[in-house]
Copies of this chain bind each other. A is one copy, B any other.
Amino acid sequence: MIGVRSAIVALSVLGLTASAGAHPRRPDAAASVPAIVASPAFKSAMSAFEREHDRVVADTITLTEIEAPPFKETRRAQAYLAMLKAHGLTDVEMDDIGNVMGIRRGTGPAGGKLVVIAAHLDTVFPEGTNVKVRREGTKLHAPGIGDDTYSLAVLLGYLRALDAAKIRTERDILFVGNVGEEGPGDLRGMRYFFGQGKYRDRVHAFFSMDGTEASRVTHGAVGSRRYRVTFKGPGGHSYGAFGIVNPMQAMAKAVVDFGAVQVPAKPRTTYAASVVGGGTSVNSIPDAIWLEVDMRSESRDELAKLDAKFLQIVKDAAEFENRQRSTRLGRITVEPKLIGDRPAGQTPESAEIVRATAAAVKAAGYTPQLGASSTDSNVPISLAIPAVTIGSGGSGARAHSVDEWIDVAKPEAVKGAAVGLASILAMAGVAR
């Protein structure tokens, strides 16, 4: 109840009632969830979703087997664009950054506020990764299948379900397959969408569907700072120049010291030394080694503290190596380059979208798990646009590893998928 009261405050502060003039004042979205879920139309939609379950699975496999490494999402994007078109959306297009999208028109006037539901096209896996889906009963194994390809297919399932149940919404719903969610992409799909995209001023509510867990209501944006650090030295013959400083040693010292840093469990703060490379040949002292690291926190302050520690560590590691070995041919230098910077922040727990999504989770029979993560929602959250990240339903594990898998056993998958559909309908408003 307190939640509701503070939500009203939040709504006026954020100007979320801007389109209210075009419609009679809507009931609170969270309050509308039980009625939506109980309605014959919603039940009919979910029955259609269930009937079409095999097609969701088939679309998942099709899309998973089209590689989509960071910055190379185009082929998958084009396939998804064709699917969006085939599902009867209007204004289907690929924007300048590579996001594909289309509108399911509501009953309200064209050009009004809309609800966005997005799943990301990209995976973390480089070109040449084996993306062939291996099926074991209801378990599907493939890199990227749960993060986030299954979500793309679920969104298409929603479209068929809404059409089958003849559900119209008041607001338009924009269905998006976006680029650049994963690491190196640094949210470029959503940065473009909210920075220059044509819908940037029309977003009433933003949902990112990312991963499977249906009970998750990710309203916190975990911030991240990512670096590519290059350690340089003179290099030389491994035998002839033995004794000179080696940038490999400086890199290693930095990783060891970084690995000893203690971070709080609450607010959750993490780090990883993730990618490394460099060296001329096995019989050469390298002249350059680079290292990529990821640091994250729910808290802006903790992230800033960790960031400062890391920068000090790499600097100290270079100096350590300059004392350890000879600098007669040159010194170790270190150049940290910021390659990722995601804002931390929160859609308040009291916000309508958070309460509505939590209500949808409960209505589906789960206990809402409110939390924080680093997803496409970071961008709208940092702009104070109401946003949450939700799960697709089903289950899965081992995201970002080649052992990634999902379980698409029908009962659980359909039960979980109801969360997203109910949340979207609540925020878009079901037309009478």
Interface string of A202-240 (1 = CB under 8 A from B): 000000000000000000001010101000001111111
A119 is an interface residue with CB less than 8 A from chain B: no
Which residues of chain A from 261 to 296 have any CB-CB distance to chain B below 8 Å in the complex? 268, 270-287, 289, 292-294, 296
The residue of chain B having its C-beta at the shortest distance from the C-beta of A226 within the complex is B282
Please state if A400 and B251 are interface contacts (CB–CB under 8 Å): no
Contacts of A228 in B (CB 8 A): 282
Please state if B400 and A284 are interface contacts (CB–CB under 8 Å): yes
Interface string of A241-252 (1 = CB under 8 A from B): 111001011011
Please state if B270 and A274 are interface contacts (CB–CB under 8 Å): no
Please state if B256 and A256 are interface contacts (CB–CB under 8 Å): yes
Please state if B270 and A184 are interface contacts (CB–CB under 8 Å): no
Please state if A242 and B270 are interface contacts (CB–CB under 8 Å): yes
A374 is an interface residue with CB less than 8 A from chain B: yes
Extra contacts, 17 of them, besides A242-B271, A284-B401 (Cβ < 8 A), are: A124-B281, A124-B284, A182-B283, A184-B282, A236-B399, A236-B401, A242-B272, A246-B272, A248-B273, A249-B259, A252-B254, A252-B259, A274-B283, A275-B280, A275-B281, A282-B293, A282-B294
Name the contact of A275 in the complex, choosing from B239, B286, B293, B373 (C-beta under 8 A).
Answer: B286
A125 is an interface residue with CB less than 8 A from chain B: yes
Contacts of A275 in B (CB 8 A): 278-282, 286
The residue of chain B having its C-beta at the shortest distance from the C-beta of A235 within the complex is B401
A253 is an interface residue with CB less than 8 A from chain B: yes
The residue of chain B having its C-beta at the shortest distance from the C-beta of A278 within the complex is B276
Contacts of A284 in B (CB 8 A): 124, 183, 272, 274, 400-401
A340 is an interface residue with CB less than 8 A from chain B: yes
A304 is an interface residue with CB less than 8 A from chain B: no
Residue of A238, A268, A273, A339 ringed by the most chain B CB atoms within 10 A: A238
What is the interface size of chain A, counting residues whose CB is below 8 A from a CB of the partner? 65
CA gap between A226 and B277 in the complex, in Å: 18
CA gap between A126 and B283 in the complex, in Å: 13
Q: Which 6 A-B pairs have the closest CB atoms?
A: A275-B279, A252-B255, A242-B270, A183-B283, A124-B281, A238-B272
A-B contact pairs, 29 of them (CB 8 A): A125-B281, A126-B280, A182-B281, A224-B283, A236-B398, A237-B400, A239-B268, A241-B400, A242-B270, A242-B271, A242-B272, A248-B255, A249-B255, A249-B256, A251-B252, A251-B255, A252-B253, A252-B254, A272-B284, A274-B280, A274-B283, A274-B284, A275-B278, A275-B279, A276-B276, A276-B278, A276-B279, A279-B292, A280-B400
Chain A interface SS verdict (over half): mixed
Binding site for B on A (CB under 8 A): 70, 124-126, 182-184, 222, 224, 226, 228, 234-243, 246, 248-249, 251-256, 259, 268, 270-287, 289, 292-294, 296, 324, 339-340, 373-374, 398-402
Please state if B276 and A248 are interface contacts (CB–CB under 8 Å): yes
Query: How many copies make up the complex?
Result: 2
Please state if A252 and B273 are interface contacts (CB–CB under 8 Å): yes
CA gap between A224 and B281 in the complex, in Å: 14
Contacts of A255 in B (CB 8 A): 248-249, 251-252
Name the contact of A281 in the complex, choosing from B184, B234, B285 (C-beta under 8 A).
Answer: B184
Tell me how far the C-beta of A263 lies from the nearest C-beta in chain B, rounded to whole angstroms: 8
CA gap between A124 and B287 in the complex, in Å: 13
Please state if A281 and B274 are interface contacts (CB–CB under 8 Å): yes
CA gap between A1 and B8 in the complex, in Å: 105
CA gap between A324 and B259 in the complex, in Å: 9
Contacts of A276 in B (CB 8 A): 248, 251, 276-279, 289
Please state if A280 and B124 are interface contacts (CB–CB under 8 Å): yes
Residue of A270, A272, A340 ringed by the most chain B CB atoms within 10 A: A272
Contacts of A252 in B (CB 8 A): 251-256, 259, 273
